[in-house]
Structure 1
Amino acid sequence: MKQKTSVNIRETGIRTIRLESSAIGSLEQYINADFERVVELMAACTGRVVITGIGKSAIIAQKIVATFNSTGTPALFMHAADAIHGDLGMITPDDVVVCISKSGESPEIKVLVPLVRNLGNKLVAIVGKSDSYLAQSAHFVLNTYVPQEACPNNLAPTSSTTAQMVMGDALAVCLIEMKGFTAEDFARFHPGGTLGKKLYLKVGDLSRLHQVPKVSLGSSLREVIVEISSKMLGVTGVVDDQGRLRGIITDGDLRRMLEKNMNAAGVSAADIMSSNPKTIGADELAVNALDMMRNNDITQLLVMKGDQYHGIIHLHDLIREGII
């Protein structure tokens, strides 16, 4: 391999992006009647969408399968080479089969296609050549033709695989809208990930992990310090005799009081608290708590259930859960 020493790296990077952007833009002309029928077919499918391919197209197929599964369309990946050695058995009568190929002429594809047709399943081709064996054999064709790969030798799949992936995304987004797939549905399929947590994790889920720091209006300075220290949240709520929230005291409030050289002997919680503290409902999403903290440049919020004070949510809780 001969190494070039005069490559303009920035120029090459920009050219690659422009070529692939152009390839994506040209796909608009192929969002046609076949595309509409394929979306309707997948939306009505009572089985799974089985997506297959070979080489780089197989990798794109896996990505599309992952997107479908996470957005409410059950899907399976089947490698074209493995399919003709037993994996064909994963296809059930109710499945829709999608075959991805740039040329539509790969030997494995030519063996696989008639087998799928014999099973009686609908076959969708995502293919770059409309006159290929795959395109001519499929029930529906989604054209992903690109005039040029970004590869300088016009060989390595670059623009073509980008086009395949975008076509898969277009299908997925149409299915999301047709099925009325919501953010709550998305969270059900992503319970362990950061995206899912942003959609389902509630403030109360985090605040209940802590003890509730609380003092009364008449509590002494010593009692305030002990409560803040023992609960280890750097803050305490202040309540009246009826248990209603009246204010907040942070460790910062204590430092500012000492800086003013106040006579600590007669100081009560009511003297140093901040009235009208920032609060959030226990049923609010944790990500909303993060927004409030950022907007107000604070690190904790008092948590309420109705008009009752129920605890603290701290910035560290959100960091620990990966919300940030």
Structure 2
Amino acid sequence: MKHLDRALRVIMLEGEAILNLSTQIDEQFNEVVDCILKTQGRVIVCGMGKSGIIGKKISATLASTGTPSFSMHPGEAFHGDLGMVVKEDIFLAISNSGETDEVIRLLPFLKDNGNTLISMTGNSLSTLAKESKFHVSIAVHQEACPLKLAPTSSTTATLVMGDALAIALMRAREFRPENFA
């Protein structure tokens, strides 16, 4: 197989993952947007590994388009960063499996603190999805990585869903070019 053929296969698989999101998104997406619009707090985006890297981008897009947001590394959370979380904050947790230990460990604190939990997972039956007030599916049929080791299609799907959320919020806030800094 030529390099170009491999590249085209990755593009096709990831494109399919993105298109598949349109069959998974439902009315709960509207509820997520409305919940974020109503909060007086910030959206704290958290994920481990590649999900955390994608979460940083989602948080940056939210912040630059009118939704106060910052990202939090789940490992750093228990070393003082949870002190930044106030009750009014919404916690957006990202985990493809929905079972990432470092993220799951945060659930008791978030519950005791009264935070609204939104999850983005590839598994609607996971611990994270079940413990969330709102769950957004980012499930993919197949990763582009032939060894099934590197998250590829799943991170692309997560990024696109994060962009969809940010743009929906931006439009709802009537955010304009002069607001962008």
The normalised TM-score by structure 1 is 0.55
What is the match of residue 176 of structure 2?
182
Alpha-carbon distance in structure 1 between the residues aligned to 2:29 and 2:149 = 27
1:50-102, CA deviations, whole angstroms, 9 ceiling, x for partnerless residues? 11010000000100011011111110111111112221111111111100000
The higher radius of gyration belongs to 1
Contact 1:48 1:76 (C-alpha < 8 Å) held by counterparts: yes
The structure 2 residue matched to 1:137, chosen from 131, 134, 139, is 131
Distance in 1, Cα, partners of 2:57 & 2:151: 16
Report the RMSD for the aligned CA atoms in angstroms. 0.9
User: Partner of 1:123: helix, strand, or coil?
Assistant: strand
Output the amino acid matched with 1:122: T
Q: Which has the higher contact order (CA 8 A, sep 6+)?
A: 2
Question: Is 1:49 matched with 2:30?
Answer: no
Give the whole-Å Cα distance in 2 for the aligned partners of 1:110 and 1:16.
31
What is the percentage of aligned positions where both structures have the same residue?
A: 45
SS for the counterpart of 2:106 is helix
1:86-235 equivalences in 2 (<5 Å): 86-186=80-180, 189=181
Q: Which 4+ residue blocks in structure 1 deviate beyond 4 angstroms? A: none
Q: How does 1:29-44 map to 2 (within 5 A)?
A: 29-44=23-38
Partners in 1 of 2:65 and 2:166 — Cα distance? 7
Deviations 1:269-297 (A, max 9, x none): xxxxxxxxxxxxxxxxxxxxxxxxxxxxx
Q: CA–CA distance in 2 between the matches of 1:52 and 1:106?
A: 11
**Unmatched segments (≥5 aa) in structure 1:** 1-6, 190-324
Consecutive unaligned residues in structure 2, runs of 5 or more: none
Give the secondary structure class of the aligned counterpart of 1:157.
coil
Q: Secondary structure at the match of 1:94?
A: coil
SS state at 1:15 partner: helix
Q: What amino acid is aligned across from residue 54 of structure 1 in structure 2? A: M
Residue 104 of structure 1 aligns with an amino acid whose one-letter code is: G
Q: Which has the higher strand share?
A: 1
SS at match of 2:109: helix
**CA distance, structure 2, for counterparts of residue 114 and residue 21 of structure 1:** 37
Amino acid at match of 1:115: F
Deviations 1:287-312 (A, max 9, x none): xxxxxxxxxxxxxxxxxxxxxxxxxx
The count of residues paired between Structure 1 and Structure 2 equals 181
